[in-house]
Structure 1
Amino acid sequence: MDPDIAQIQTSEAPEPSVEASAAPPPKKRAKTANIAQIQGALKRRGKKKSLSLLTDMPLDVIFEIFSNLLPGDLIALSRSNKAFRTLLFHRSSITVWRSARNNVPGLPDCPPELSEPAYANLLFTTNCHYCGRQGTQIIEWLLLTRCCKSCRENPAFFFDATNHPNDHKRDWLRSYLPSITRGRNTYVRMSDLAPFLEQWETQGNDNGGIDHLLKRSKEKTKLLKQRLLPHQLWDEQRNRNRELELDAIRKQRRRAVWDKLSETGLGDEKAFLNSSQKDFLRNMEGMKEPTPLTERNWLKIKDPIISWVQRARRERIREQRSAPYTTAINAIRPLLDAYGRTRPLTDCFPTTMDFCCIPQARAYIDELVTSGAALDAAHFTGLIPIAIQQWHNDASQHLYPLLPPWLIGTRHPDVLRSALVWFHCASKGSYPLPCNDTTIGYPRILVHTHTRHERRRVDEPQSPDDDLANAVCDIYLCSSYMLDPAQLKANITFDLHASFAAAEIVQLCGLDPSTASAEEMDELDARIACVPCKEIITWRKAVSHVYKPCHAGQREWVLLDDADCAALKKLEAKDRPKTTTGTFWCMRCRRFDRAMCNFFFSHKGLKALKAHMERAHGVVQFRPKYGVDYYVPDGEPTNDNERPLPVMYKELDFKVSTPELIALGW
């Protein structure tokens, strides 16, 4: 705080001379102006005037002028030069400060703890009274001061009772001493706390004296709060009025901005903005300043504002164009989801974007959009498998060029479904997901991550294809990825080594490699023991297992007999995700487009799954059944993390009966 404001100076200012004021003023002589004087006056008109002689005026005139000012103006004058400072802080200037205070409507009288200049400084300046930093807007009325955060947290000025181990002590300090309260934080001024503790120490063990001290401090603090309550209410009302004034100026500025936008042809866009867009535009730089809009200001802020409004117009037009397709896709999605739940988890479906681009499905969607007819559920349900089969056929055409010539000449009717057909993903990128499945079979290769590209939104749609893509992108949990022949050609190659390993395994299982299909091998569901690694795996895992770095290329297979295979499958059935920590997916929440579903609808443990079923589906199931109520995500069967997991030789809980394994000492 300024020491000259806190305490009025006691020095006396010079009084005007009585003799000089009693003598009559001299008569003025009429002056005649000539041409030279007029020209000189015109030359001096542009010179800067000085107010240095203002202090030489009579005091009653100066006081009369100052009495019409506001307290904040007097504070500014006192800081302009030493002459005003000496004059305004003189004891005789108290009437000027009081008159200035009366010019403020509703302002309460000066508290007895402050002088008139200190009261004006408290109300009409924003300087911190401890460090002088500007911008301290809040007045601490119990302390009659302004305090910034850094000074409030300075232990030299305040005692911080926030982290006191006894919460009662913090509340106790609030009751007996003036303090600053910020939520649960309490700060007590050290200049108030030190004398209070000294008085406490002087009482010693006198409980009566301590009780009297506490009672007196509590009453004093309570009276201080009551006495300063009108000042606090006035300050709060002033802040509210100021906010209303600033809001009015901001509204006027925003109206002026929209007037400028109307000149550019964007004024009509105001009626189409939603609440979130209005809030965003309202808080943009150049729209929230509490100053009138000038031409110079508009030149500075117009580019980002015009750009944002143009983008909002493009989004509105894009949403209007894609709205019919959004309605049609939302109508067919429940039928797609219902069909997907009836199919095995191993089936490979196209994404929503791929399905909508299938000619049969696209023709039906266009018919719904153009005619506005209602959806025929029975007709569309019969159309779904036809469209999916067409997608499989069209997508498979991009795989035939990758096959070796000797494989195309086999006797298998559909060469892609041969057990010898395996592909390798050579992608090393990490977007959208790193490739953990390098050996991939058919038809899973069609839904592999690195055979697709994302169809992004089109800001300025020009065709129905763009409108359809925007509709799919805007719908929640609809994948906008599509099969991309260019990505497939760049990342996917035929896995020749896996094909040779598959031929050995097929022959080991007693089938003809030239005619055996992958479906036949899956139906056989044999288990194969890898002798070098001493683990038992499925035939699909065996295809990729032998070429892993841990295997070192050694290969020796043993086919388990029927008894050992049945015993091993029972052992595999026990190795399911734990009911408390396992991750499960709700079967009723399965979506046709499972690429996005597996990420959002997982539940940790069966307890969370049962709570979800009761909350979301109204089904109370005490013992959820696998494959009926829940499932685990299906991935690439060649991945070691996918079930059934490999079983090590040491984990076998039964005595093997396969002769080859017995001979090896298993």
Structure 2
Amino acid sequence: MPLRSQYIEGKVAIYTDAQGVLVRNPADTDDEPQNDHEERPRKRAKRTTRSKGSLTDEDNLVASNSKRQRIPEQFRKVRGKLGLLERLAKDMPLDVILEIFCYLDPGDLLRLARTTKDLRGILMSKSSEFVWRTARENVEGLPPRPEDLNEPQYAHLLYESYCHICGRKYCYDVFWSFRMRCCKNCASATFLRCSDPAFIAGLPHDYRTLCQVILPWEYLKGSRSERDIVFHAGIAARYKTEFQKLQTRDERNQWIARKTNERLTREKHANSCQRWLQARLNQRSDELEDLREQRREAILERLEEIGWREEAELSMKNIWQEDDFSFHKLVRQPKKLTNYGWNVIKTELIEWLTERKEDRLEELRRKTLSCRYKLLSVEFDQSKSRHDLRDPFPGKCDILTSKYFEDLIWDTPMDEEITAESMKSKFLEHFPLIVDQWRPAKIEELVQVMQTFRPGASVSDLHLATTVFECTKCLPRTLMHYPQMFYHRCCFQNRETNSARMAEIQYIFSNPWSSKSLALSVSGSQIAKGIVEACSLDPTTATIQDLYNANPLIECVDCNISPGSWYGRLFMRWPSAIGDAKHRSHKLSINNFGDKTQQVLASEPSDNLLFSACCVYCHDTEITDMSSLQEHLRLHHNDVLDWGIDDCIFPLSLADARTHIYWSPDIELGHLCRTFLYKGYDTSNYSWGRALSPISDFD
């Protein structure tokens, strides 16, 4: 006969109805079944519904007492369905219970043993060891039980994922050799470095290795190495006590040998357990990932019904964030999607997809605009390489912000492709018109800057050698002649000159050209005036080309080293004298070197006038020396020059070279020519010539 549970035995046979009438429960009678119509309890009379506030204290007390009388005392504080496991332990035969338990794993048995006292008494008895062993054998790949642990202890180590020191949950750091789990926060107190004097004092090395373990640096506070050898403080103290109780050397050696064998056995078993745990974690991770994949597919199917699946799949291919839809907090959950769950996340997920769609369309728009601007930029660069740079040439952004090209790029529908061929044809058609409108307006703007210092100045004054501009943004200030300012970098740094549309993609290109940072240089004009006068030219009429043709030889007196020094005397051409900031305050000697002139010229590099030069025929800027100039002319312009075999013989003379090149306005004055040293000294016949101070001599 199966045992009846305590709850069933304790059921009361007499119940009290709401009116206080005592009736007998027919289910608890020991007599034979009676006729259904005999002594049937009468039905309770329906009572009128009262509001909660209208019930009297007496009514509440009667209802509470009647409910407490129906529930035995030992079950009145139990939550949920009362007594199910209790009935399992008392109503079911023991052999059936044990047979069922054999199909569980050790972790389930461990949790069952903690539910009720009856189940704990059954599972923790010695006679139930075969149940634990059978359950452990059901687990695939689980190493056998070590000899120093019983079945519940082994199950506790395998399946209870909390720290054995502080009780923190989800601790997966298992130290199998020490039969414990320990989190990183507790590791510093549990494990100590083997360099601790209290641990190593008076102990042999063989003993120390018995309780050692290697830990990564993040487990130990203040560790400077990647891995540290530490020991378990509790085990070390116990071993130390055992070791010191031994009297003879033989006993200690036998003890160390025995503990060493135990350690090797534990380490071998620990490696097997670690492999099993890692495989279990990997399997669980795969299961969770499968659940996430199923949830994602279920969400995609729901989104397809409302027309949002395509947007979700596009967000899975985002180039900035890899698959940000699958990693969304509402999607990447390891649980099955239900109708209730979908209704909970539907609104928030659609709002997120709406934002993603807006961001995607905006990114697509910006990408399309950038692509169109780059096509236009390629055509601009090719056109600039074919134009004469001695005339003012618009900057790239001046063309990009022109009304025609800006309307072409922004007003063309984003889904309509603009090919390179169509962009090239439109550029060649409208670019000359834009340049013809831009150039006079900017030259007039530059004249207004010049008139601030020279009232009455005109466009023709821009070509004078004594008209020197300076940039107020540069430190030291950059001096320049016309048209160098149209290629100076600081003139393209005024954001307020840009259009509102272009400001959205400001990171791609610079700004349109502006003269706001330009001013007429007083000191630079005075230096240029002194050089022009030293060349016997009229400062009021001498142009930059005249100064270029005169090409005076200049010595910086202040930069000269005393005769006899191995450094020599410093010479330069006029661009370096004006453009190089360190020579502007020095005394200069110009074209007055007597019979030493030819010797000085012999010290000048042969390609000094070709440095940063452009071809006058094709405006190529790759010419850097005399050899490259000769090769370029022979290969690309022989049809214009009509040279014979012996007409172009290396080297060309400087006079001949100057007819084929001009200095690139992209290069600053100070970088157009190199300075050079003359190391020959003859103080008896040396004449300093005319030494110029930077300002006083020009007043």
Q: Is the TM-score greater than 0.5?
A: yes
Kindly provide the amino acid, as one letter, of the partner of residue 561 in structure 1. N
Does residue 515 of structure 1 match 2:562? Answer: no
Which structure 2 residues correspond to residues 20-59 of structure 1 after superposition, within 5 A? 30=25, 32=41, 35=44, 40=63, 50-51=77-78
- Partner of residue 451 from structure 2, selected from 390, 404, 407: 404
Of the structure 1 ranges 105-114 and 78-87, higher mean CA displacement relative to structure 2 is found in 78-87
Question: How far, CA to CA, are the matches of 1:436 and 1:260 in structure 2?
Answer: 67
Q: Is the contact between residue 480 and residue 669 of structure 2 (CA under 8 Å) also seen in structure 1?
A: yes
- Partner of residue 282 from structure 2, selected from 227, 233, 240: 240
Question: How far, CA to CA, are the matches of 1:635 and 1:82 in structure 2?
Answer: 93
Does residue 315 of structure 1 match 2:343? Answer: no
> Cα gap change, 1:329/1:113 in structure 2, threshold over 3 Å: closer, same or farther?
farther
After superposition, what is the alpha-carbon deviation per residue over 1:3-56, rounded to whole angstroms, capped at 9, x for unaligned?
Answer: xxxxxxxxxxxxxxx9x99xx9999652547538999599969x9963289698
- By how many angstroms is 1:314 displaced? 2.3
Kindly provide the amino acid, as one letter, of the partner of residue 481 in structure 1. S
% identical equivalent positions:
21
Question: How far, CA to CA, are the matches of 2:546 and 2:124 in structure 1?
Answer: 105
Which structure has more relative contact order (CA 8 Å, sep 6+)? It is: 1
Question: How far, CA to CA, are the matches of 1:407 and 1:326 in structure 2?
Answer: 41
Q: What secondary structure does 2:470 align onto?
A: strand
Which structure 2 residues correspond to residues 51-200 of structure 1 after superposition, within 5 A? 51=78, 64=97, 67=101, 72=107, 107-152=142-187, 156-157=191-192, 159=194, 179-180=213-214, 185=227, 187-190=229-232
- By how many angstroms is 1:302 displaced? 6.4
> Cα gap change, 1:370/1:229 in structure 2, threshold over 3 Å: closer, same or farther?
closer
Question: How far, CA to CA, are the matches of 1:444 and 1:249 in structure 2?
Answer: 68
Taking structure 1 as the reference length, what is the TM-score of the superposition? Answer: 0.57
Taking structure 2 as the reference length, what is the TM-score of the superposition? Answer: 0.55
Q: Is the contact between residue 465 and residue 544 of structure 2 (CA under 8 Å) also seen in structure 1?
A: yes
Q: Is the contact between residue 193 and residue 228 of structure 2 (CA under 8 Å) also seen in structure 1?
A: no
Kindly provide the amino acid, as one letter, of the partner of residue 243 in structure 1. S
Q: Is the contact between residue 576 and residue 672 of structure 2 (CA under 8 Å) also seen in structure 1?
A: no
Which structure 2 residues correspond to residues 214-613 of structure 1 after superposition, within 5 A? 223-228=265-270, 230-255=272-297, 267-272=309-314, 274=317, 276-277=319-320, 279=322, 281=324, 282-283=326-327, 286-290=330-334, 294=341, 295-296=343-344, 306-320=354-368, 323=371, 339=385, 353-354=397-398, 373=421, 395-404=442-451, 414-427=460-473, 436-453=476-493, 480-485=509-514, 488-489=515-516, 491-529=517-555, 538-543=573-578, 557-561=588-592
Q: What secondary structure does 1:189 align onto?
A: strand
Matched residue, 2:688: 660
- By how many angstroms is 1:372 displaced? 6.6
Q: What secondary structure does 1:493 align onto?
A: strand
Kindly provide the amino acid, as one letter, of the partner of residue 232 in structure 1. Q
Q: Is the contact between residue 446 and residue 483 of structure 1 (CA under 8 Å) also seen in structure 2?
A: no
Q: What secondary structure does 1:35 align onto?
A: coil
Q: Is the contact between residue 418 and residue 516 of structure 1 (CA under 8 Å) also seen in structure 2?
A: yes
- By how many angstroms is 1:454 displaced? 8.6
After superposition, what is the alpha-carbon deviation per residue over 1:532-580, rounded to whole angstroms, capped at 9, x for unaligned?
Answer: 776766534544678x8x98xx775431436767766776769x9xxxx
Q: Is the contact between residue 325 and residue 365 of structure 1 (CA under 8 Å) also seen in structure 2?
A: yes
Kindly provide the amino acid, as one letter, of the partner of residue 526 in structure 1. P
Question: How far, CA to CA, are the matches of 1:246 and 1:364 in structure 2?
Answer: 52
> Cα gap change, 1:557/1:198 in structure 2, threshold over 3 Å: closer, same or farther?
farther
Question: Quick check: which has more Rg, 1 or 2?
Answer: 2
After superposition, what is the alpha-carbon deviation per residue over 1:458-486, rounded to whole angstroms, capped at 9, x for unaligned?
Answer: 9xx99xx879x96x97xxxxx6113243x
Question: How far, CA to CA, are the matches of 1:455 and 1:144 in structure 2?
Answer: 69
Question: How far, CA to CA, are the matches of 1:565 and 1:197 in structure 2?
Answer: 100
Kindly provide the amino acid, as one letter, of the partner of residue 189 in structure 1. F
Q: Is the contact between residue 507 and residue 513 of structure 1 (CA under 8 Å) also seen in structure 2?
A: yes
Matched residue, 1:164: none
Matched residue, 1:618: none
After superposition, what is the alpha-carbon deviation per residue over 1:605-656, rounded to whole angstroms, capped at 9, x for unaligned?
Answer: xxxxxxxxxxxxxxxxxxxxxxxxxxxx9986466xx5767789xx966457
- By how many angstroms is 1:257 displaced? 5.9
Question: How far, CA to CA, are the matches of 2:126 and 2:601 in structure 1?
Answer: 103
Question: How far, CA to CA, are the matches of 2:579 and 2:445 in structure 1?
Answer: 23
**Unaligned segments of structure 1, at least 5 residues:** 1-17, 162-169, 428-433, 474-478, 577-584, 586-591, 595-632
Kindly provide the amino acid, as one letter, of the partner of residue 249 in structure 1. L
After superposition, what is the alpha-carbon deviation per residue over 1:284-342, rounded to whole angstroms, capped at 9, x for unaligned?
Answer: 55554545674555666766664344212322344356656656766x599579x48x9
- By how many angstroms is 1:137 displaced? 2.5
Question: How far, CA to CA, are the matches of 1:225 and 1:327 in structure 2?
Answer: 67
Question: How far, CA to CA, are the matches of 1:523 and 1:120 in structure 2?
Answer: 99
Q: Is the contact between residue 455 and residue 480 of structure 1 (CA under 8 Å) also seen in structure 2?
A: no
Q: What secondary structure does 1:136 align onto?
A: coil
> Cα gap change, 1:526/1:396 in structure 2, threshold over 3 Å: closer, same or farther?
same
After superposition, what is the alpha-carbon deviation per residue over 1:67-87, rounded to whole angstroms, capped at 9, x for unaligned?
Answer: 487655666678899999999
- By how many angstroms is 1:239 displaced? 1.3
Of the structure 1 ranges 306-315 and 271-280, higher mean CA displacement relative to structure 2 is found in 271-280
Question: How far, CA to CA, are the matches of 1:177 and 1:300 in structure 2?
Answer: 55
Q: Is the contact between residue 250 and residue 288 of structure 1 (CA under 8 Å) also seen in structure 2?
A: yes
- By how many angstroms is 1:283 displaced? 4.2
Question: How far, CA to CA, are the matches of 1:528 and 1:251 in structure 2?
Answer: 80
- By how many angstroms is 1:238 displaced? 1.7
Kindly provide the amino acid, as one letter, of the partner of residue 466 in structure 2. L
After superposition, what is the alpha-carbon deviation per residue over 1:113-170, rounded to whole angstroms, capped at 9, x for unaligned?
Answer: 3343433333333333344444432434444433334555668445499xxxxxxxx9
Question: How far, CA to CA, are the matches of 1:435 and 1:416 in structure 2?
Answer: 24
> Cα gap change, 1:105/1:299 in structure 2, threshold over 3 Å: closer, same or farther?
farther
Q: Is the contact between residue 420 and residue 500 of structure 1 (CA under 8 Å) also seen in structure 2?
A: yes
Question: How far, CA to CA, are the matches of 1:196 and 1:131 in structure 2?
Answer: 25
Question: How far, CA to CA, are the matches of 2:550 and 2:305 in structure 1?
Answer: 76
Q: Is the contact between residue 142 and residue 225 of structure 1 (CA under 8 Å) also seen in structure 2?
A: yes
